[in-house]
Amino acid sequence: MPLVRIAMRRGKSSAYIVAVRDSIYAAMRESFDVPENDRFILVSQHDADEFDCDPHYLDIVRSDDLVVVQIACRDSRSAMQKQAFFRCVAEKLAIAPGLRPEDVFINLLETAKENWSFGNGIAQYA
């Protein structure tokens, strides 16, 4: 049930965006127990003046290729699963589209399962 929002600087190609989406979805399937076809991914691109991220916070050197991934998901995963997921996303994005791990920022927003409606005005998991 994750809802994935991906933000990046404007100017990336369609192939780049597809690679980012596909890599994150593959990581969710592999290490986050996300079922097949549970794919809801939104991508937004921003001009430089709309994308304000510190390039050195926590001594991590970020470039203009920074990708911010925010995932709303059910509050059901252990800290170990989350760590494995973060590593898996960074590894997959390093392969395709070739992002440096320093340029992968991930934030999880966990909610109870009854807070989701996938359509028809029904809370399917409540």
User: How much is the average pLDDT of 28-41?
Assistant: 94
User: How much is the average pLDDT of 6-12?
Assistant: 98
Residues contacting 23, CB < 8 A, separation 6+: 89, 92, 93, 95, 96, 97
pLDDT at 55: 96
Q: Please state the domain extents for the chain.
A: 3-115
pLDDT at 1: 77
pTM for this model (two decimals): 0.93
Q: What is the pLDDT of residues 70-117, one digit of tens each?
A: 999 999 899 999 999 999 999 999 999 999 999 999 999 999 989 989
Q: What are the residue ranges of helices labelled H in the chain?
A: 14-31, 79-95
- Tell me if the domain spanning 3-115 has CATH number 3.40.190.10: no
Q: Which one of 2, 35, 97, 101 is the catalytic residue?
A: 2
- Asked about 101 being catalytic, the answer comes back as no
